Structure 1
């Protein structure tokens, strides 16, 4: 009898242990935050900025302003993860004027964060790896709409096929309206169709730690180079990050005419850092410098050569007028 009671006691202890573990796991996955978690999140944010932000002087100013807001207790009112992340993002962007400084969930919780690659692959296939419209127009004009520069290993075949499709048309319109950026690989592959000969510097990215990374042109492409052929790049206020890099670089080297509206103004390169309670933070850690302009588009956006609310129609008109059609 005594041994049976001992076994039952042990089983109850094991069950209690599992229950506590499940409760802790459930709490971590929960959308609800308690006061200590909110305080831990808001304490971690300025530390990450101080340690990693691309501009140490600006970073100190951002931290000072953020700590004032945090010490007021305003964030304690936001006990849901999304609401808190949205409010933190709003304040950080307002303070810094930096679109790459924000807070978000780690792919909506622990379960999804383990499968982020599968989610990304599904989105890539759904949107044809960013190439959502490819069309041959009249008057020797080709048109490509790229909504995002997606993972280069999975997207390269589509990028090669798209550029092969348009290679026999003299005029090319690349539509980057609404393109928020993405991975650099596909962007650089398309950009390289407009450079030949010896590699030249197209940007130098300077990090918060004082290191520099030089990006060079390359003529390693799978098709015809487009040296000297007319290129029109369409942008709007939602064109950002890597898409802005593409437009700004080709504009600076006088290889493209940019048409539309000023872009978002997000030049800085970002990196993600974990925050407590399943959140993460994007921090600008480096900034590219164009060798022609000796600056970039951070805060200003890419300024179009031709401002218009209808850049697609305007580009076709410009091509036809130039060619006397």
Structure 2
């Protein structure tokens, strides 16, 4: 037992030491390629050039070179990039040894898989409320190959309910796949074009997204759907709410969402840092635009903490 405690202390000490050992030269190496990566890959080329120029000014000020802690560097860089770009998908993150089950493993996928298991593949709460109302809390739309079975099980559990509340408050987004699966429950007939995504790379063909008949259970055509959102609802979860609202399939309740419409990709930096950059832009087929910087606007505007109660109240009043 004593040996285990000593080993744990050594691991914690090593992780702490690593997070404190940034030098000026190491920071230069980490941030050196950021402007070029932004300019080459940002979805709006003119805006990307300006973001790169503005970030170079921040770099040249020398403000980053006194930082010694990796978490602090991540926070400061991310704050500056979001302020400069006004884009919620512009940020930095860093994989530490302590983020994975095996100390020292530098593996983003291992970190992702561990989080998926911890959060039940995004589906953290499923209830059957009174008045035959289903309730599903989704905290993140996770990797569909691993999370789809959980999504199918969740939708099967509520398939006999008359009303459904899907809670994506504080859901920052994630992967496509699961959200489209849920959307499919509210469409029938031929495939419906939902959106077209345009890429920063002119060589890439615009990507169209349609509904499909992929539903393992009952459709919910005509059944009331209430989606709960707030200011921390972002990215893929905003796509989910915005799309169902635009097609008249859902009532959105809560607070305006984050306004992060762009699709992002990760680009490696040195020392196991990476930068997220917006590389694509979805356009809704109904609205001919998206929610970038505007957010998803609720049909019923209430404080985030009151959104579930309000949805239940609306259901009761309709009955």
**What is the CA distance between 1:90 and its match in structure 2?**
0.7
1:63 counterpart (48, 52, 62): 52
Distance 1:118 1:62, change over 3 A: closer
CA distance in 2, matches of 1:178, 1:66: 29
Return the match for 1:32 from 11, 14, 21: 21
How far off is 1:67 after superposition? 0.9
Deviation string for 1:38-67 (max 9, x for gaps)? Answer: 222332110000110011111111111111
- Is structure 2 residue 311 aligned with structure 1 residue 315? yes
**Structure 2 residue matching 1:316: 3-state secondary structure:** helix
Partner of 1:200: 192
* Pairing partner for 1:277 from 271, 274, 278: 271
1:120 aligned onto 2:109: no
Cα displacement (A) at 1:108: 4.8
Q: What's the C-alpha RMSD, in Å, of the aligned pairs? A: 1.8
Query: Contact 1:160–1:222 (CA<8 Å) still a contact in 2?
Result: yes
Is this contact kept in 2: 1:219–1:225, CA < 8 A? no
The partner residue of 2:174 within 176, 179, 182 is 182
Count of matched residue pairs: 296
**TM-score of the two chains, using structure 2 as the length reference:** 0.88
Structure 1 unmatched ranges of 5 or more = 1-25
- CA 290–107 in structure 1, closer or farther in 2 if over 3 Å, else same: farther
Measured against aligned partners, the alpha-carbon deviations of 1:214-258 in whole angstroms (never above 9, x if no partner) come to 111112110011111100000011111111100000000010000
Higher-helix-fraction structure: 1
Q: Match for 1:147 among 139, 142, 148?
A: 139
The answer on whether the counterparts of 2:24 and 2:66 sit within 8 Å (CA) in structure 1 is: no
| Max Rg structure | 1
Task: Return closer, same or farther for 1:192/1:31 CA change in 2, 3 Å cut-off.
Answer: farther
Matches within 5 A, 1:161-310: 161-210=153-202, 211=204, 212-309=206-303, 310=306
Among candidates 50, 64, 85, match of residue 75 of structure 1: 64
Closer, same or farther: CA 86–190 of 1 in aligned 2, 3 Å:
same
- The 8 Å contact of residues 168 and 233 in structure 2, kept in 1 or not, is answered as yes
Specify every segment of 5 or more residues in structure 2 that has no aligned partner in the other structure, as ranges: 1-14
CA–CA separation in structure 1 for the residues paired with 2:74 and 2:113: 25
Higher mean alpha-carbon deviation, 103-112 vs 176-185, is at 103-112
Q: CA 1:262–1:108 in structure 2 vs 1: closer, same or farther (change >3 Å)?
A: farther
Instruction: Specify which of 102, 107, 111 is matched with residue 104 of structure 2.
Output: 111
Query: Are 2:31 and 2:269, in contact at CA under 8 Å, matched by a contact in 1?
Result: no
TM, length-normalised to structure 1: 0.87
Deviation at 1:31, TM superposition (A): 4.5
Counterpart position of 1:17: none
Q: What residue in structure 2 maps to residue 158 of structure 1?
A: 150
Q: In structure 2, what is the Cα distance between the partners aligned to 1:259 and 1:242?
A: 17
Cα offsets for 1:170-193 (capped at 9, x unmatched): 111001111111111111111111
Single out whichever of 314-323 and 29-38 deviates more from structure 2.
Answer: 29-38
Q: Secondary structure at the match of 1:184?
A: coil
CA contact (8 A) 2:19 2:68 kept: no
Native 8 Å contact 2:256 2:297 kept in 1: yes
Deviation of 1:30 after TM superposition, in Å, equals 6.2
